[in-house]
Amino acid sequence: MINKKVMVCHGGLPVEDDVTLEMIRKINRFSEPAERGIMCDLLWADPVPQNGRHPSKRGVSMGFGPDISKRFLDSNGLGMFFI
């Protein structure tokens, strides 16, 4: 987090709706990531130009559209995120 308004992560956004920053903070980052779940999504989800969620070409996590990004940012009081 940068100034409590910008989130930076390796991958993208969680597949589940209503994931909070507090839930992300509680992830045990010192473990092997599972094939699905919040940690997996933060590592491997990809942005796509279409709204909604779409299967990932990686075969893990999902692609997420601008509407998913906006909903995550709004619900967590963030201004932007970088991947």
Whole-number Å distance between alpha carbons of 77 and 34: 27
pTM of the shown model: 0.89
Taking 90 as the threshold, does the pLDDT of residue 3 lie above it?
yes
- From 26, 29, 34, 16, select the one nearest 71 (Cα to Cα): 16
**pLDDT tens digits along 40-72:** 999 999 999 999 999 998 889 999 999 999 999
User: Which tokens in the block code for residue 65?
Assistant: 């559209």
- Type of residue numbered 2: I
pLDDT tier, 11 (very low <50, low <70, confident <90, very high otherwise): confident
pLDDT tier, 33 (very low <50, low <70, confident <90, very high otherwise): confident
Q: How many CB atoms lie within 10 A of CB 48?
A: 19
Taking 90 as the threshold, does the pLDDT of residue 27 lie above it?
yes
Query: Contact at 8 Å (CB) between 54 and 65?
Result: yes
Looking at residue 55, its pLDDT comes to 94
- The pair phi, psi for residue 47, each rounded to 5°, is -75, 145
